[in-house]
Amino acid sequence: MPPAAPHVLVIIQNLPFRIDRRVRSECRALTDAGYRVSVVCPQETPDEPARFQVDEVTVHSYAPPPPSRGAVGYVREFAVCWWRTARAAARVHRTAPFDVIQACNPPDTFWLLALLWRLRRGVRFVYDQHDLCPEVYLAKFGRRDLLYRALLLLERATYRTADHVISTNGSYQEIAQRRGRVDPARSSVVLSTPDADLMRRGDTEPGARDQAKHLVAYVGIMGAQDGVDRLLAAADHVVHERGRTDVRFALLGFGDALDDLRADCTRRGLDPFVTFTGKVDHAAIGRWLSSADLGVTPDPPSEFNDRSTMNKTLEYMAHELPVVASDLTETRRSAGEAARYVPGTDPAALGDAILEVLDDPERARAMGAVGRARIEGELSWRRQAATYVGVFDRLTGRTGERTTADAAPLG
């Protein structure tokens, strides 16, 4: 009887599995390669079962604590999620022992759980670094205080505990190797590129344009560091300063700032021109982006944003949308000629750039075609998946190791 395929346990805390596109793609790559995969994550809805199947992956969900504010509340939230994740991992291992744990940040707190399993059962640890937590803190609060130093310590512990570190781009890998002193031999880049076969233009969202000529889309988290407030100010400029009542804005997503953004939208008199969808699934995102003429990446310049690859930019490109974006290093590396870059933080400049692209349909179509070609070619998920699966092949000693020569990171 042949030995059972290696089993990978993937831990997520900040998103439910169904709506975490990167992790779903990673897990699909593992199951396609013959691995068994289980995921521990927070529930998407209160009535979600504690165990269910998605994409040949067994998902174990737990009830998340109520959203927190302030340092004490965040620490409590992390502690509760850590404990519920640890209990779920123990239950998984009792029925199907796992060989590798992959922890996806934020937060950088699961190194201790991985260390306990390594000492007890020899389980290997892969750190899939989605965010730079210290830089996120700086972008939100602008101070290098005790909590900032604690985040650096947690990040350092995670780097040192990991058998392999996966970074979402070259800038993150540079941080891992410089600040985290990660040996290049245990470091890889796997971009969060959409699967071109699964994410493409298709059916549209009924009534998305509301009879307007143009539809501008934003997709993503709505926090203090994401620049959605700047996009609303740009929409105000477009509608009230430039008199363009033929443009609608669709803001897809959720986050700590959503209620404040809705209030600001009403205060600016933009409710007839702006739609907030709240949390939506992948199918709805696809319909909205298939209805749109342009996607916006308004994240303001900061150390964190400059080093980060924005998933929304890649999703706009997959849907053949021209992009208007803040002028950031990793955004330029991702989008290339598919984007019109706006320096600085002036909302009027952002609004004028949006109109510049909307009013030149030939240029917009060319930009969209460039973006789609990059998603299908240079940035393709197939290349990223080869690199990703290769990490687990090496850690588990599987025969027939997959080549990663054609999966070199961009830049």
Instruction: Output the CA–CA distances (angstroms, integers) from residue 91 to 27, 94, 147, 163, 386, in the order listed.
Output: 20, 5, 32, 23, 30
Q: pLDDT, tens digit, for every residue of 284-332?
A: 999 999 999 999 999 999 889 999 999 999 999 999 999 999 999 999 9
Kindly give the parts of the chain with pLDDT less than 70.
1-3, 68-71, 399-411
Cα–Cα distance, 343 to 46 (Å, whole number)? 42
Cα–Cα distance, 158 to 333 (Å, whole number)? 27
What six digits make up the tokens of 10? 């993937």
Q: In terms of Cα–Cα distance, which of 364, 352, 363 is closest to 244?
A: 352
Q: What is the DSSP letter of 216?
A: E
Q: pLDDT, tens digit, for every residue of 343-388?
A: 999 999 999 999 999 999 999 999 999 999 999 999 999 999 999 9
H or E element, residue 121: helix 111-121
What six digits make up the tokens of 386? 């080869």
Q: What is the pLDDT of residue 407?
A: 37
All structural domains of the chain: 7-193+380-396 (3.40.50.2000), 214-376 (3.40.50.2000)
Residue the block writes with tokens 């005790």: 146
Cα–Cα distance, 337 to 347 (Å, whole number)? 22
- What number of other Cβ atoms are within 10 A of residue 32's Cβ? 12
